[in-house]
Structure 1
Amino acid sequence: MTLLADQIKNAALNFGYEKCGIIKISDIDGYKEKLEERIEKVPEAKGFYQGQYRFTQLKDTYPWAKSIVICVRKYGKYHIPEHLKGMIAKYYLVDGRKDENSKDFQDSLKYEKYMKDLGLRAETERGFGLVPLRFAAMKAGLGIVRKNNFFYTESGSTVYLEAWLIDKELENIETPKVRPCSEKCNLCMKACPSASLSKPYTMNPIACVSCITTFMGRDMPNEKYKEQIGAWVYGCDACQDVCPMNKNSWKEIEEFPNLQELSEQISLEKILKMDYSYLEEVMQAKFWYIDKASVWKWKVNAINAMVNNYEEHYRDHILEACKDSNLKVREMAEWAVNKLELQ
């Protein structure tokens, strides 16, 4: 079985992954305790974390699964259009997990086929995963989670994780070579615009700018943290950008497929002018944390960014948004008009 585990790991490295480890499915048993610790620290987020309990029932949900193959892929290698920095978090711009045009996605498919060709049953979910990804990666010794709650390897936090359940009991565990956070460092907490990072290794998703601008934040005019969101429209990079362990980790040496062309269609003003078919077919396919039924959030978030960083030429765009076909957008635009006293 050691030979098979080595084959699986070496294949991952050949398909472009930075790291690969294999753990037994029983190694996830401690996740429930960690989840309940998190809820105890942030009780107001209990509803948010309820969905994570699915990871505590893997043996019941997938009785055939024996092990977890967990892989790390670096994304901090792509060129990011300058005008999108500070508006859309970099990770989402180069997220290859579901982008069929990306080499990362194609490599993932090839790797899965490789495992199946070995006679393994291998299943994954190329989004939020079938297992608690960061927990599994730590159990495999591939890196550590830092005070900002992001997973780090020697490459910093500009990596994402993929995992497969397989039907063979295998193991391939590394010893992490990443030094821990300095006890004195609190840069990520100081940089967090909404104090979502109120304590080390603790995050309140209810206050997180990235959460609010993607799958949460359904009532922006009354959102407690709308001013703290600042110029962000989708996601937030604040805590990762200030982390000393990310210094010089991003190398813009490759172009992500179609990103430059798409970026030319994105600005605060252009978002407000987007028709809903474009938002549903193009923007949602790329930025899938906002579902199709909620693509109006793009316009709401753009208006919020305009208010937080108001410039005179935004005026006509906000007034025009008062006539948008979507009620949520009209409500946000009307709130902005009153806030800015545009009439």
Structure 2
Amino acid sequence: MNRLASEIKSTALNMGYEKCGIIKISAMSGYEEKLNERVKRMPETKQFYEKFYRFAHLQDAYPWAKSIVICISEYGKYHVPENLQGLIGKAYLFDSRRDEQSKELQNSLKFEEYMQGMGLKTEAERKFGVTALRWAATKAGLGVARRNNFFYTESGSWIHLEAWLIDKELELIEIPTVKACSEHCNRCVKSCPTASLAQPYTMNPASCISFLTTFGGRDLSHEKCNGQIGGWVYGCDVCQDVCPMNKNRWSGTEEFPALEELSEHISLEKILRMDYAFLEQVIQAKFWYINKEDVWKWKVNAINAMVNNYKEQYKEYIVGACNDSHAKVREMAQWAIKKMNLLV
């Protein structure tokens, strides 16, 4: 069994993964206690975290599962188009989970095929993970979870994690080499624009900018922290950008497939003038945390960003959005005109 575990890891590394570990499924049992601790610290998050408890009892849904293979790939090697910095979170720019052009997805599919070819039964969920990825990676010794809640390896937090359940009991655990956070460092907490990261290792997802600009924020003009969202229209990197453990960890030497071409279509002004067909067919395919039926949120988020960092050139776009085909966009534009006291 040790030989099989070592071969799985060697194959993963040869396919381009930065790290690979294997834990027994029983190692997930402690995850429930951690969830309880988090909910106790912040009771208002209980409903949000309810759906994660299933990760502590994986065999209820997968009685055949014996172990978890957890792999890590780095995306800090990719170049960020200048006009998208501070606009779209970097993890989403280089999200390969559904991007058939990316070598990361191609390698993921090949790796899964390899394990199945070895006679292993596998189960994966590429969109959001078949288990609690950060907890599994921690138990496998692949790195550490830091005070901003992100998982770090030697590459910093600019990494993607993915996991597979397998039907063989294997184990391959590393000893992490990255330093733990200093108890005296509080930069991530202090820098969180909406105070979603209220204390180390704790956050309120409902007020997180990444949540508000994707799944949430359905009534952004009345959102109490809309002003703290700043210029972000999809995601947020603040707590990772300020982290000392991410210093000099971004190389940006490679180009992500088709991103540079797509970036030419994206700016606050272009989003407001963007055709809904383009939003649904092109933008949503890349940034899928906003559903096709909700692509109007791109325009609402763009208006909010314009208000937060207002320039005179934005006026004509905001005024023009008053005639948008979607009521939510018209409402947001009218709110912006009133808030900024724009004469029309």
2:134 paired residue number: 134
Cα deviation code 1:271-315 (max 9, x no counterpart): 011111111111111111111121111000000000001111111
How many residues are treated as equivalent by the alignment?
A: 343
The residue type paired with residue 20 of structure 2 is C
Whole-angstrom CA distance in 1 between matches of 2:32 and 2:274: 43
Residue in 2 that maps onto 1:210? 210
* 1:240-259 alignment, distance < 5 Å: 240-259=240-259
C-alpha distance in 1 between matches for 2:338 and 2:47: 33
In the alignment, does 2:319 pair up with 1:332?
Answer: no
The superposition leaves residues 178-208 of structure 1 with CA deviations (integer Å, 9 ceiling, x where unpaired) of 1111111111112111111121111111121
Extract unaligned runs of 5+ from structure 2: none
Please tell me whether residue 321 in structure 1 is matched to residue 321 in structure 2: yes
Contact preservation (8 Å) 2:123, 2:166 = yes
1:143 equivalenced with 2:143 (yes/no): yes
2:6 maps to a residue whose letter is D
Do 2:28 and 2:57's aligned partners in 1 also have CA atoms closer than 8 Å? Answer: no
C-alpha distance in 2, partners of 1:217/1:61? 32
Q: Deviations over 1:119-155 (max 9, x none)?
A: 1111211111010000000010101100000000111
Deviation, structure 1 residue 47: 2.0
Q: Distance in 2 between matches of 1:33 and 1:335?
A: 44
Q: How many angstroms apart in 2 are the aligned matches of 1:46 and 1:282?
A: 35
Partner of 1:335, secondary structure, is helix
Query: 1:295 and 1:46 mapped to 2: Cα distance?
Result: 28
Question: Is 1:171 aligned to residue 171 of structure 2?
Answer: yes
What RMSD over aligned residues (CA atoms) do the two structures have, in Å? 0.9
**SS of equivalent residue, structure 2 residue 47:** helix
Q: Deviations over 1:235-261 (max 9, x none)?
A: 111111111100000001100000000
- The TM-score, its normalising length taken from structure 2, stands at 0.98
1:233 match = 233
Give the distance between the partners of 2:160 and 2:326, measured in 1 at CA. Answer: 34
Partner amino acid for 1:59? Q
Q: Please say which of residues 137-146 and 55-64 is displaced more in the overlay.
A: 55-64
Gapped runs of 5+ residues in structure 1?
A: none
Give 2:182's aligned residue. Answer: 182
Hey, what's the Cα distance between the residues in 2 that align with 1:55 and 1:273?
42
Paired residue secondary structure (2:228) = coil
Q: Percent identity?
A: 66
- Is contact 2:97–2:126 with CA below 8 Å preserved after alignment? yes
4+ aligned runs moved over 6 Å, structure 1? none
Deviation for aligned residue 1:50: 2.0
Q: Which residue of 2 aligns with 1:288?
A: 288
Equivalent residue of 1:196, what SS?
coil
Q: What is the TM-score normalised by the length of structure 1? A: 0.98
